[in-house]
Chain A
Amino acid sequence: MIAPLNSGGRADELTARLTEAIQLGLVANGHRLPPEREFAEQLGVSPMTLRDAIAVLRDRGLVETKRGRNGGTFVTRSIEPDETPDRARLAGLPVSALRDICDEQRAITSLAARLAAERASDSSVTKLLALVDRMDSAATRGACMRADSRFHIEVAIATRSERLTRREVSLQAETVGLLWLSELDEAEAVAIVEEHREIAGAIAEQNPTRAQAVAENHVLQNLRRLAGLHLKLVEGEEDRS
């Protein structure tokens, strides 16, 4: 007997894509989503999958549904995403789980950097360098999150691989909010910018080996940062055993 397709997987991927699209500002704040059936058709998913994804977006405060004559589901993008859900999520993710995410991130992000160094067009390189500067001057959590995600996604886009890009979008949607908590040291924030600059530089120089190495190092440093934040968050918790 053939096992049914894991529809959960598709809903997750759809949720990640929509989350990222909203957080990166690809859809305007207040934009009304098309009617459910039409939207599902456009996205190539079943209405059920779309409904599941929208429910998650509603929980995350990214969309709101209004009833009545002018009702519908509207994008409610806040420029400054609330830390609270991310803080709760990170507190609940043991370091072994963070390591698991990092393993996938290592595979995707460092390969994407290597391939970008081999394949990137001049305009992609220009975009990457501009995104590093943007992160450098980002002053708020929201701005840092957007500059961070956009950078990694842009590296994936430069490879021209749709699959790597989809995976990177998913990973960014999952992790970027966890990294940029107020507990993150300023020194770490500065280091993150420098690591991005190194990656962009290696891609600009068309040096695949170096691009892969600095990207991998960046992911490992992020694991250390996330693990450190997790430990800080759980330190205060009582031992209830």
Chain B
Amino acid sequence: MIEQGHTDQAAALPEVAARLSAVLNAQLEPMNELAGRLTEMWARPSARRNGFSGTEVSSLASQVESAIRQVDRMVGHGFIAAPGVVDGHERYMLWLQRKNGKIYRLRLNIDHSDPDSYEYVTMEWYVRAVTYGAQVLTGPYLDYSGSNHFVLTFSAPVRSDGKLLGVVATDVLVHKAETEFVKILQRLDEDAVLANADRIVVAANSVRWIPGDRLPAHPADDPANFHSVVPLSDWTGWWLALASGQGDARKPR
């Protein structure tokens, strides 16, 4: 009889990092598809003349809705237009949300003349996407003034011939993502922690780190506490680290 401990090989750290990266990279697919439709629409002469029409952008709602339906952890998705890109609208959003099993369009106060409006051009996920010129990952954070959910936001700029049309984005529920991450981390025998670029713990396979805590130092700068550190896909800024020393080391079964 083969003992479980021998057949149950600990997954190599890079492999686990790759699996985690794959989960994050997969979230970019619907965003790329939406961006593709938008750049196609922008190629129309009417768009070049006057910008998008609100109706045109709204026509993408069914595509956005079906993308959300297909992925359980997705709670929001859509397109946030750069100022003035949608004709007659200084600000414009096509954003759909899932709540209590239903999907509906989120209507925020984006009236630019109102000083209390939701000024999305200053939001971290918008600014970073536009500044870096490629996909970025923001959070975990509590999106109080937007969706009112605890989320990770994936965002990427949409450009056509160098012109910024806006940002496509996806919100993923942190609680659902964490559950998936933990399942993957539990393939590792040693204590492992997944942290974001701000050193905030996202998930762990041990109670040594609680999600939301900030690590005192970056794992890569902390050889006393972490013996192996592997980054996830570059664009995420996330790190997977294995702990040194004592603590809650998991026993082989």
Contact = CB atoms under 8 A, between A and B. Distances in A.
B11 interface: no
A114 to B, nearest CB: 13
B109 A160 contact: no
Contact of A26 (B108, B124, B141): B108
Determine the interface band of chain A, counting residues with CB < 8 A from chain B. 20 to 34
B180 interface: no
B140 A42 contact: no
B31 to A, nearest CB: 21
A136 to B, nearest CB: 15
Contact of B144 (A119, A146, A153): A153
Contacts of A162: 142, 150
A188 interface: no
B234 interface: no
Contact of A28 (B117, B200, B214): B117
B100 interface: yes
Contacts of B69: none
Contact of A118 (B109, B111, B116, B213): B213
Contacts of B252: none
B118 interface: yes
Contact of B99 (A44, A118, A119, A122): A44
Contacts of A124: 141
B150 A26 contact: no
Nearest to A29: B114
Nearest to B138: A123
A181 interface: no
A41 B117 CA distance: 25
A16 to B, nearest CB: 13
Contact of B100 (A31, A41, A119, A123): A41
Contact of B212 (A34, A41, A44, A119): A119
B145 interface: yes
Contacts of B213: 118-119
B90 to A, nearest CB: 13
A27 interface: yes
A26 B118 contact: yes
A74 to B, nearest CB: 13
B174 to A, nearest CB: 8
A226 interface: no
Interface string B215-242: 0000000000000000000000000000
B111 A28 contact: yes
B142 A165 contact: yes
Contacts of A129: none
Contact of A42 (B102, B108, B144, B212): B102
Interface in A144-160: 146, 153, 157, 159-160
B183 interface: no
Nearest to B212: A160
Interface in B175-218: 198, 200, 212-214
Interface in B97-143: 99-100, 102, 104, 107-111, 114-118, 124, 140-142
A121 interface: yes
B100 A42 contact: yes
Nearest to A120: B214
Contacts of A122: 198
Interface in A22-42: 24-29, 31, 34, 38, 41-42
What 10 pairs between A and B have smallest CB-CB spacing?
A25-B116, A28-B109, A123-B124, A157-B142, A44-B100, A157-B144, A28-B111, A160-B212, A121-B198, A160-B142
Interface of A: 24-29, 31, 34, 38, 41-42, 44, 118-119, 121-124, 146, 153, 157, 159-162, 165
15 contacts: A25-B116, A25-B117, A26-B118, A27-B108, A28-B110, A28-B111, A28-B114, A31-B109, A119-B212, A121-B198, A123-B124, A159-B212, A161-B212, A165-B142, A165-B144
Given A29-B109, A29-B114, A153-B144, 20 more contacts: A25-B109, A25-B115, A26-B108, A26-B109, A26-B118, A27-B107, A28-B110, A31-B109, A34-B104, A38-B104, A44-B100, A118-B214, A119-B212, A121-B141, A124-B141, A157-B141, A157-B142, A160-B140, A160-B141, A161-B212
